[in-house]
Homo-oligomer: A and B are copies of this chain.
């Protein structure tokens, strides 16, 4: 964020939800691509009467959704804080929603102040898809052994080098992260949800964990082999990344 923007009086934070289907991810793009950030900045500028430059807790990929993305921005705009979600709902398209707004401390950064994040991933099981979940879950027809999947997820709870789950293209940032909790549950008929709470996520890490857990659930990968590959830190030994449209940035902790 440019330094002069920090001279503005208010640091406003928002919780944002979006259906990522129609966007080129969260992070600002050059036209004709449109990212969630482009739309948010453009519409917030109208509400605040000045150019807005957002910082987010992290980017999400094209097609990935958010239930609790957090952003912040500096502004001299005068709109009362509690009116922002309502004003935003008039200015934004229906697939991007400001759920909550608060006045943050001047030192708060949605990106740098984040302590941990939860992602969830939805899988729809069964021979026949529910068409109303097609945009919002990964459809898997094969049988999945949920207990084996839970066992695989339990294995990676802790502080580890997650190189085996980073994107093949990812650069050499520190690959050590802590997973605080990883679980799978089935509270809605035919919908499995995988929930992962971690100190941070390498690029594609959540979708790569899901893809590997699904291979375990399909009994195409034993728990022993899963652990061997994880320990080998070799991305290329794990299966392809799970599709973007099952993934949701669920919550950011500060």
Copies of the chain in the assembly: 2
* A215-230 interface code vs B (CB 8 A; 1 in, 0 out): 0000000000000000
Contact call B131/A95, Cβ cutoff below 8 A: yes
Within A147-175, the residues touching B (CB, 8 Å) are: none
Within A97-142, the residues touching B (CB, 8 Å) are: 97-99, 127-132, 134, 136, 139
Contact call A18/B131, Cβ cutoff below 8 A: yes
Contact call A85/B128, Cβ cutoff below 8 A: yes
For A99, give the chain B residue with the smallest CB separation. B128
* A78-109 interface code vs B (CB 8 A; 1 in, 0 out): 00000001100100001111110000000000
The secondary-structure label for the interface of chain A is mixed
Complex alpha-carbon distance, A168 and B199, angstroms? 59
Cβ distance A204 to chain B, nearest Cβ, rounded Å: 23
Q: A19 in the interface, Cβ–Cβ < 8 Å?
A: yes
Q: A17 in the interface, Cβ–Cβ < 8 Å?
A: yes
Complex alpha-carbon distance, A99 and B96, angstroms? 31
Please indicate the chain B residues that have their CB under 8 angstroms from the CB of A99 in the complex: 128
Contact call B139/A94, Cβ cutoff below 8 A: yes
Within A1-39, the residues touching B (CB, 8 Å) are: 17-19
Determine which of B19, B128, B129 lies in contact with A134 in the assembled complex, contact meaning CB atoms within 8 Å: B19
Task: Report if A127-B95 is in contact (Cβ < 8 Å); known contacts: A65-B132, A132-B65, A132-B136.
Answer: no
Most interface-central of A98, A130, A136 (chain B CB within 10 A): A130
Contact call A128/B89, Cβ cutoff below 8 A: yes
Please indicate the chain B residues that have their CB under 8 angstroms from the CB of A96 in the complex: 131
Contact call A97/B17, Cβ cutoff below 8 A: no
Please indicate the chain B residues that have their CB under 8 angstroms from the CB of A130 in the complex: 17, 97
Please indicate the chain B residues that have their CB under 8 angstroms from the CB of A139 in the complex: 94
Complex alpha-carbon distance, A139 and B92, angstroms? 14
Cβ distance A190 to chain B, nearest Cβ, rounded Å: 12
Contact call B19/A132, Cβ cutoff below 8 A: yes
Cβ distance A121 to chain B, nearest Cβ, rounded Å: 15
Complex alpha-carbon distance, A139 and B97, angstroms? 13
Contact call A17/B127, Cβ cutoff below 8 A: no
A residues near B (Cβ < 8 Å) are 17-19, 65, 85-86, 89, 94-99, 127-132, 134, 136, 139
